[in-house]
Chains A and B, each alone.
Chain A
């Protein structure tokens, strides 16, 4: 047996996840009709998933090369290296989170344009003519999509507090 590796930690996290869901399954009410209880099927799945996660844990502790997730990467060690390596996806998550948080205020059109514009700047840089080009692209593409859904398909997209409902 080897000490805990990344796969072991994932397996333990999965077991904890199963535990949380198993615990939550006791909150499911049982009606006095039907043969299959509403909690039965989820519990079967949780049971299977726990069993599989246990096998995964044992395999990872035995050092089974087939399950190893840790490939060689060009990542620098430490937290700084981790952040640098995952910079772009982290920016995407963070900006999408902000985009969703601001959606009720700015509305789909303005928020969408700002999201695409800032994301392009963060991923592609702000040098030279890029800010202007990115602005054109963001306005044209999101403007087109918004118009298509609003006028073409008749969808009521969030208008925000700055735009009257169309």
Chain B
């Protein structure tokens, strides 16, 4: 069955047209990822209009290619200029740039490219193996559980997305509210149309995404008139040969860092809201802590490039696992992928992999192929990267704003979508300026109707609200929602050693063990018993310490 699906997916993608589109996607992603100020999400969202005329398989394969290219593109700018191309390659500059300045830019790039490749492959393997298994668990969710899962995704995104959780939660609620504008899907009644026919159709999801993310980002990039006129580099050419053999040898010597960092990347990606920007720093920090020579980090050592580059490429596999298995986007790029699926009338849910096996496996396979393509195209794109970075930011921003106009109109041939783009561009820019994170808002817009539909389904089964507390999965997600909401406060108070923080983790263990016990079977109650024992042990340990963290 799995082999049949893989073969069917390969059949769809193994043709000149598909491979060409994917190669163009990887190349575009590499360039977009390499330009500081341009995010991967922006590159992926701007690819959407091009894919509307394609089949779902081809469109998604192209977008996955842009995504894979973008994840790897950031390292070129980071290593050669010291300015990370994307937030997910910040830690790469810590050792990549010093290594390049020490006279080994070819080796630094080689290590970066091959680490990205390894991270991508490990993540693709986990995506292919974990997503179908997780989807089987997802099929156990009922409307109560699914509703609470959405609430959990929004809460944890808000708590991870910014400095202040309240702002993150407000942004998430705003996204949910704006999604309700237009006809509601359950009853078909007009909501918040304020007498306007255009608002009756609601805001187009893609126009909202492009406005919030791409439009507002471009305005941010040109805010400073002097910086807007400058180009990233004045170099006219680049004579660097990527040292593949030496890089492979260096990576093989440090394979444990590759595996550990890739796993950090995948599991960070699985967590909604925590993307590559967190994973690369986390992996770098772990590599440093586990190293026998931590003092050398920051001076230009291979370990410091391998860790962030393996992890940031692995992140997207994790985010796609959750998207494809549960229909919940792990980050903004996964939210855009969800938009692409919706555009093709495919609604991601736990039954997605079983309902659309060829499409699902074509996403897996395109992730693999794009990772290989990235390896081959990196050297070629290095030359183009230098040329692109000579173009001043204001030129790039003007062209892309012009393209946003054409692309958004082309999606539905509706003029109102362009106004949506403008208003949401202004809103996104203002929110950025006032410190409101955009990711929870985007997830709110994406997940709003999923939450409402599941709430409506739950209430249609029974108007009673007690199943939210008595159904195991609903209770499970409710508990982790509450604990994730309290987490930022816990972190802040933990440093001050406030007494209540001593009980946070044990209470979380006890609380989570309850729904696990209720789920039945063998594994989950066993896990619940373990959590219960662990919570008890933590309490005992803290009592021994005189209700302090350390005696």
Per-residue B-contact encoding for A103-122, CB less than 8 Å = 1, 0 else? 11000100010011001100
Complex: chain B residue closest to A18, CB-CB: B177
Cα of A53 to Cα of B164 in the assembled complex, Å:
13
- B166 near A59 with CB under 8 A, answer yes
B329 nearest CB across to chain A (Å) = 19
- B225 near A88 with CB under 8 A, answer yes
- B169 near A21 with CB under 8 A, answer no
Per-residue A-contact encoding for B374-404, CB less than 8 Å = 1, 0 else? 0000000000000000001011011101110
List 18 A-B pairs, Cβ < 8 Å: A31-B189, A41-B184, A41-B452, A45-B173, A67-B163, A67-B166, A69-B433, A96-B422, A115-B405, A119-B398, A120-B395, A123-B397, A125-B229, A137-B399, A145-B402, A149-B410, A154-B53, A155-B410
Which of B225, B406, B463 makes the CB contact (< 8 A) with A123? Answer: B225
Other than the given A21-B192, A39-B191, A153-B50, 20 more pairs (CB < 8 A) read A33-B187, A35-B460, A36-B452, A41-B456, A67-B163, A67-B164, A100-B418, A119-B401, A119-B402, A124-B392, A125-B229, A138-B402, A141-B402, A142-B399, A142-B402, A142-B403, A146-B406, A149-B406, A155-B53, A155-B410
Mark out the residues of chain B between 148 and 195 whose CB falls within 8 Å of any chain A CB in the assembled complex: 163-164, 166-167, 169-170, 173-174, 176-177, 180, 184, 186-192, 194
Give chain B residues whose Cβ lies under 8 Å from the Cβ of A112.
402, 405-406
Cα of A9 to Cα of B184 in the assembled complex, Å:
32
- A153 near B422 with CB under 8 A, answer no
Chain B CB within 8 A of A129 CB: no
Cα of A89 to Cα of B163 in the assembled complex, Å:
25
Cα of A21 to Cα of B394 in the assembled complex, Å:
38
Cα of A31 to Cα of B186 in the assembled complex, Å:
11
B503 nearest CB across to chain A (Å) = 23
- B402 near A45 with CB under 8 A, answer no
Per-residue A-contact encoding for B417-461, CB less than 8 Å = 1, 0 else? 011001001100100011100000000000000011001100110
Cα of A36 to Cα of B465 in the assembled complex, Å:
12
Which of B180, B225, B399 makes the CB contact (< 8 A) with A116? Answer: B399
Chain A CB within 8 A of B254 CB: no
- A38 near B191 with CB under 8 A, answer yes
Chain A CB within 8 A of B514 CB: no
Chain B CB within 8 A of A28 CB: yes
Mark out the residues of chain A between 24 and 40 whose CB falls within 8 Å of any chain B CB in the assembled complex: 24-25, 28-31, 33-36, 38-39
Give chain A residues whose Cβ lies under 8 Å from the Cβ of B409.
108, 157-158
- A41 near B180 with CB under 8 A, answer yes
Per-residue B-contact encoding for A78-103, CB less than 8 Å = 1, 0 else? 00000000111100110011011001
Which of B166, B222, B405, B435 makes the CB contact (< 8 A) with A89? Answer: B222
Which of B169, B222, B229, B402 makes the CB contact (< 8 A) with A52? Answer: B169
Chain A CB within 8 A of B228 CB: yes
Chain A CB within 8 A of B415 CB: yes
Give chain B residues whose Cβ lies under 8 Å from the Cβ of A38.
184, 186-187, 189, 191
Give chain A residues whose Cβ lies under 8 Å from the Cβ of B223.
86, 88-89
Chain A, interface SS category: helix
Which of B410, B419, B434 makes the CB contact (< 8 A) with A157? Answer: B410
- A45 near B177 with CB under 8 A, answer yes
Count chain B CB atoms within 10 A of each CB in A10, A45, A134 and give the residue with the most.
A45
Per-residue A-contact encoding for B220-263, CB less than 8 Å = 1, 0 else? 10111100110000000000000000000000000000000000
B221 nearest CB across to chain A (Å) = 9
Chain B CB within 8 A of A61 CB: no
Count chain B CB atoms within 10 A of each CB in A56, A66, A115 and give the residue with the most.
A66
Chain B CB within 8 A of A42 CB: yes
Chain B CB within 8 A of A12 CB: no
- A120 near B398 with CB under 8 A, answer yes
Give chain B residues whose Cβ lies under 8 Å from the Cβ of A4.
none
Give chain A residues whose Cβ lies under 8 Å from the Cβ of B399.
116, 137, 141-142
Cα of A156 to Cα of B11 in the assembled complex, Å:
32
Cα of A142 to Cα of B398 in the assembled complex, Å:
11
Give chain B residues whose Cβ lies under 8 Å from the Cβ of A125.
229
- B426 near A93 with CB under 8 A, answer yes
Complex: chain B residue closest to A41, CB-CB: B452
The 4 closest A-B pairs by CB, nearest first: A123-B394, A49-B173, A38-B189, A116-B402
Cα of A25 to Cα of B270 in the assembled complex, Å:
36
Give chain B residues whose Cβ lies under 8 Å from the Cβ of A66.
163-164
Chain B CB within 8 A of A48 CB: yes
Per-residue A-contact encoding for B297-327, CB less than 8 Å = 1, 0 else? 0000000000000000000000000000000
Cα of A102 to Cα of B421 in the assembled complex, Å:
16
Mark out the residues of chain A between 50 and 77 whose CB falls within 8 Å of any chain B CB in the assembled complex: 52-53, 55-56, 59, 66-67, 69
Chain A CB within 8 A of B134 CB: no
A48 nearest CB across to chain B (Å) = 5
Chain B CB within 8 A of A135 CB: no
Cα of A92 to Cα of B456 in the assembled complex, Å:
42
Cα of A142 to Cα of B407 in the assembled complex, Å:
11
| Known A-B contacts A36-B456, A123-B222, A155-B413; A42 and B395 likewise in contact (beta carbons under 8 Å) | no
B202 nearest CB across to chain A (Å) = 12
Complex: chain B residue closest to A91, CB-CB: B222
Chain A CB within 8 A of B126 CB: no
Chain A CB within 8 A of B219 CB: yes
Cα of A103 to Cα of B397 in the assembled complex, Å:
20
Cα of A154 to Cα of B52 in the assembled complex, Å:
11
Give chain A residues whose Cβ lies under 8 Å from the Cβ of B49.
149
- A88 near B406 with CB under 8 A, answer no
B408 nearest CB across to chain A (Å) = 11
| Known A-B contacts A45-B176, A53-B170, A153-B50; A92 and B401 likewise in contact (beta carbons under 8 Å) | yes
Complex: chain B residue closest to A49, CB-CB: B173
- B192 near A24 with CB under 8 A, answer yes
Cα of A99 to Cα of B422 in the assembled complex, Å:
11
Cα of A4 to Cα of B53 in the assembled complex, Å:
52
Cα of A93 to Cα of B189 in the assembled complex, Å:
33
Give chain A residues whose Cβ lies under 8 Å from the Cβ of B190.
28-29
- B191 near A100 with CB under 8 A, answer no
Cα of A103 to Cα of B498 in the assembled complex, Å:
60
Give chain B residues whose Cβ lies under 8 Å from the Cβ of A33.
187
- B422 near A93 with CB under 8 A, answer yes
B282 nearest CB across to chain A (Å) = 22
Give chain B residues whose Cβ lies under 8 Å from the Cβ of A31.
187-189
A58 nearest CB across to chain B (Å) = 10
Complex: chain A residue closest to B165, CB-CB: A66
| Known A-B contacts A36-B456, A42-B180; A116 and B398 likewise in contact (beta carbons under 8 Å) | yes
